[in-house]
Amino acid sequence: QGQVIDDETIMVPTPNVVANIGPKACIVRVQIGVRDLTTTTANYQFFLNTIAEKSLCYGPGVLQEQQANVPTRFTIQTRNENGENRKSGREDFVIRLQQKVPLDEQKFQYEDLPYELVDKNNGQYEIHYQASEGDVIVEIKLVDENGKPRPIRGSPFKPTFTKMARNKANEYTGPLITSFITSTLKGLDDFFQTTNTG
């Protein structure tokens, strides 16, 4: 059953086809009453839902020792239950970026930071923000098909900002990303060597 919105639009709920059809491309035809199906078609893609625990964040905006008071960013890559990158956008997120602000020598509070969420409509989302010197907490939660916010793998992130950061620290091709990749590869190599030797 569909609802006619105007002469060019019919709104139809997507059927639950996970068990019998699964994720795949299909075509849509329309039938009004007992008349024949239309000869023209529309392409439609069934896909597996995004899973927060399989999705991830990466980029300078979630790393430590970024340049304070300079724009930074990071990417959310959504993935389905098979660990495959999603290819469409329009996901709902609950996002909170907060900076730790000292009140006196022993007390502090967290203040919300403004951010911009850019939907690239290909399964990736980019978050742009700027922070002053100090600690930040980045919480990213995906709202699942039941309306429940679930944390993305690795969330919350704890980036830090300094006035003495390395040149291009807030860029994807900068030294923070390079160091992170090198450190991760070294950790994998150490794990492999430890596992191999028993």
What's the gap between Cα 196 and its chain centre?
35
The pLDDT value given to residue 16: 74
Structure tokens at 131: 């922070």
Q: What is the pLDDT of residue 28?
A: 85
Residue 130 structure tokens = 């700027």
Q: Which residues contact residue 161 at a Cβ distance below 8 angstroms, ignoring those fewer than 6 apart? A: 65, 66, 67, 68, 69, 131, 132, 133, 134, 135, 136
Q: Is the pLDDT of residue 1 over 80?
A: no
Write the pLDDT tens digit of every residue in 14-36. 777 767 777 778 888 888 888 88
Would the pTM count as exceeding 0.85?
no
Three-class secondary structure assignment of 114-151: CEEEEECCCCEEEEEECCCCEEEEEEEEEECCCCCEEE
144 burial level (CB within 10 Å; 0-12, 13-18, 19+): middle
Signed CA dihedral, 55, 60, 64, 67: sign only = negative
Token duo for residue 8: 């060019």
pLDDT class for 12, splitting at 50, 70, 90? confident
Q: How confident is the model at residue 182 (pLDDT cuts 50, 70, 90)?
A: very high
User: Residue 26: how many CB atoms within 10 A of its CB?
Assistant: 12
